[in-house]
A and B are shown apart, each in its own frame.
Chain A
Amino acid sequence: MSTAIQLHQVTAGYREQPVLENLSLEIAAGDMVGILGPNGAGKSTLFAVLSGLLRPSAGTVKLNGCNVHAMPPAERARTIAVVPQELDVPVPYTVEEIVMMGRTSAIGRFSSPTAEDRQRVERALVYTDVADIRRRPLNELSGGERQRAIVAMVLAQDPRIILMDEATSHLDLNHRLEIMQLVERLNRDDGVTVLMISHDLQIAAEFSRRLILLDHGKVVADGTPSEVLTEEMLRRVYHCDVRVHQDPHSGGISILAAPRLPAPGSGKGIHIHTIGGGGCGEATLRRLALCGYTLSSGVLNRGDMDAEVAGALGIATALEKPFSPVSREALSEARALALKANALVLAPVPFGSGNLANLDLLDEALSAGKPVFVAGGIENRDYTRNRDAVARVQALLARGAVPYQDVADLITLLPTC
Chain B
Amino acid sequence: MSSRRAFWMVIGLSPVILAVCVLMGPSGIGLPDLQSQRDILMLRLARVLAGFIIGAALSCSGVVFQAVLRNPLAEPYVLGVSSGAGLGAALAIMTGFAGAFTTALPLCAFLTAVITLAVVYGLSGNGSTPSLYGLILSGVVVSAVCSSLLMFIVSASSIEGMHNILWWMLGNLDMPSDAVLGLSALLVAAGCAGLWLMARELNALTLGHQMAHHLGIRVKASIITALLLATLVAATAVGVAGLIGFVGLIVPHIMRTLVGADHRRLIPAAAIGGGAFLAVCDALARTLLPVEIPVGVITALLGGPFFLFLLKRRRTPGLIG
A binds B: yes
Q: Is the CB of A104 within 8 A of B197?
A: no
Complex Cα distance, B51 from A17, in Å, reads 54
Contact with A along B279-321 (1 / 0, CB 8 A): 0000000000000000000000000000000000000011111
Which A residues touch B215, using CB under 8 A? 77, 101-102, 104-105, 157
Q: Is the CB of B216 within 8 A of A91?
A: no
Complex Cα distance, B73 from A91, in Å, reads 11
Which B residues touch A91, using CB under 8 A? 66-67, 72, 206, 256, 261, 320
Answer whether A137 and B214 are a contact pair too, CB < 8 Å, given A90-B206, A91-B206: no
| Residue B218 interfacial (CB < 8 Å) | yes
Stretch at the interface among A81-89, A219-227, A237-245: A81-89
The 8 Å CB contact of B214, one of A81, A92, A107, A140, is A81
Q: Is the CB of A51 within 8 A of B211?
A: no
Q: Is the CB of A53 within 8 A of B208?
A: no
Residue of A51, A73, A93, A102 contacting most chain B CB atoms (<10 Å): A73
Complex Cα distance, B207 from A268, in Å, reads 55
The 8 Å CB contact of B204, one of A51, A101, A109, is A101
Which A residues touch B72, using CB under 8 A? 90-91
| Residue A74 interfacial (CB < 8 Å) | yes
Complex Cα distance, B18 from A275, in Å, reads 83
Answer whether A92 and B320 are a contact pair too, CB < 8 Å, given A77-B214, A104-B215, A105-B217: yes
Which A residues touch B218, using CB under 8 A? 73
Q: Is the CB of A137 within 8 A of B203?
A: no
| Residue A178 interfacial (CB < 8 Å) | no
Which A residues touch B207, using CB under 8 A? 87, 89, 101
The 8 Å CB contact of A89, one of B197, B200, B206, B321, is B206
Q: Is the CB of A53 within 8 A of B213?
A: yes
Which A residues touch B44, using CB under 8 A? none
| Residue A94 interfacial (CB < 8 Å) | yes
Q: Write the chain B residue with the least CB distance to A78.
A: B216
Q: Is the CB of B204 within 8 A of A104?
A: yes
How many A-B residue pairs have C-beta atoms within 8 angstroms? Tell me: 84
Contact with A along B181-213 (1 / 0, CB 8 A): 000000000000000010010011011101101
Answer whether A110 and B197 are a contact pair too, CB < 8 Å, given A51-B213, A92-B261, A105-B215: yes
| Residue A386 interfacial (CB < 8 Å) | no
The 8 Å CB contact of B200, one of A53, A87, A109, is A109
| Residue B171 interfacial (CB < 8 Å) | no
Q: Is the CB of B204 within 8 A of A140?
A: no
Complex Cα distance, B320 from A53, in Å, reads 29
| Residue B139 interfacial (CB < 8 Å) | no
Q: Which of B247-290 contact A (CB under 8 A)?
A: 256, 260-262, 264
| Residue B71 interfacial (CB < 8 Å) | yes
Contact with A along B202-239 (1 / 0, CB 8 A): 01101110110111111000000000000000000000
Which A residues touch B206, using CB under 8 A? 89-91, 93
Contact with A along B65-89 (1 / 0, CB 8 A): 0110011100000000000000000
Complex Cα distance, B318 from A378, in Å, reads 56
Which B residues touch A89, using CB under 8 A? 206-207
Complex Cα distance, B70 from A87, in Å, reads 12
Q: How far is the CB of A154 from chain B (nearest CB, A)?
A: 9
Q: How far is the CB of A269 from chain B (nearest CB, A)?
A: 53
Q: Is the CB of B262 within 8 A of A97?
A: yes
Q: Is the CB of B213 within 8 A of A105?
A: no
Q: How far is the CB of B196 from chain A (nearest CB, A)?
A: 10
| Residue A43 interfacial (CB < 8 Å) | no
Q: Which of A313-355 contact B (CB under 8 A)?
A: none
Number of interface residues of B (CB under 8 A): 30
Number of interface residues of A (CB under 8 A): 35
Q: Is the CB of A105 within 8 A of B216?
A: yes
Q: Is the CB of A104 within 8 A of B216?
A: yes
Q: Is the CB of B261 within 8 A of A140?
A: no
| Residue A174 interfacial (CB < 8 Å) | no
The 8 Å CB contact of A101, one of B197, B203, B317, B318, is B203
Q: Is the CB of A94 within 8 A of B260?
A: yes
Q: Is the CB of B318 within 8 A of A140?
A: yes
Which B residues touch A294, using CB under 8 A? none
The 8 Å CB contact of A97, one of B67, B211, B261, B319, is B261
Q: Is the CB of B262 within 8 A of A51?
A: no
Which A residues touch B66, using CB under 8 A? 91
Answer whether A140 and B320 are a contact pair too, CB < 8 Å, given A51-B214, A52-B213: no
Residue of B208, B214, B218 contacting most chain A CB atoms (<10 Å): B214
| Residue A384 interfacial (CB < 8 Å) | no
Complex Cα distance, B122 from A189, in Å, reads 48
Complex Cα distance, B256 from A93, in Å, reads 10
Q: Which of A41-96 contact B (CB under 8 A)?
A: 51-53, 73-78, 80-82, 84, 87-94
Q: Write the chain A residue with the least CB distance to B206.
A: A91
Q: How far is the CB of A320 from chain B (nearest CB, A)?
A: 43
The 8 Å CB contact of A77, one of B216, B262, B317, is B216
Which B residues touch A97, using CB under 8 A? 203, 260-262
Complex Cα distance, B200 from A52, in Å, reads 20
Complex Cα distance, B66 from A104, in Å, reads 20
Q: How far is the CB of B248 from chain A (nearest CB, A)?
A: 16
Complex Cα distance, B216 from A80, in Å, reads 10
Q: Write the chain A residue with the least CB distance to B265.
A: A97
Q: How far is the CB of B225 from chain A (nearest CB, A)?
A: 12
Q: Is the CB of B216 within 8 A of A112?
A: no
Which B residues touch A84, using CB under 8 A? 210-211
The 8 Å CB contact of B197, one of A52, A82, A105, A109, is A109
The 8 Å CB contact of A87, one of B208, B264, B320, is B208
| Residue A9 interfacial (CB < 8 Å) | no
Q: How far is the CB of A314 from chain B (nearest CB, A)?
A: 41
Complex Cα distance, B201 from A104, in Å, reads 8
Q: How far is the CB of B241 from chain A (nearest CB, A)?
A: 27
Contact with B along A135-164 (1 / 0, CB 8 A): 001011000000000000000010000000
Q: Which of B35-77 contact A (CB under 8 A)?
A: 66-67, 70-72
Complex Cα distance, B67 from A100, in Å, reads 17
Complex Cα distance, B72 from A94, in Å, reads 17
Q: Is the CB of A90 within 8 A of B70?
A: yes
Return the 5 tightest CB-CB contacts between A and B, nearest first: A77-B216, A105-B216, A140-B318, A91-B261, A104-B215
What are 8 A-B contacts with C-beta separation under 8 Å? A82-B211, A82-B214, A91-B66, A91-B72, A91-B256, A91-B320, A104-B216, A137-B318
Q: A84-B211, A92-B321, A101-B215 are in contact. List 7 more A-B contacts (CB 8 A).
A: A53-B210, A77-B216, A78-B216, A87-B211, A91-B320, A104-B203, A104-B215
Binding site for B on A (CB under 8 A): 51-53, 73-78, 80-82, 84, 87-94, 97, 100-102, 104-105, 107, 109-110, 112, 137, 139-140, 157
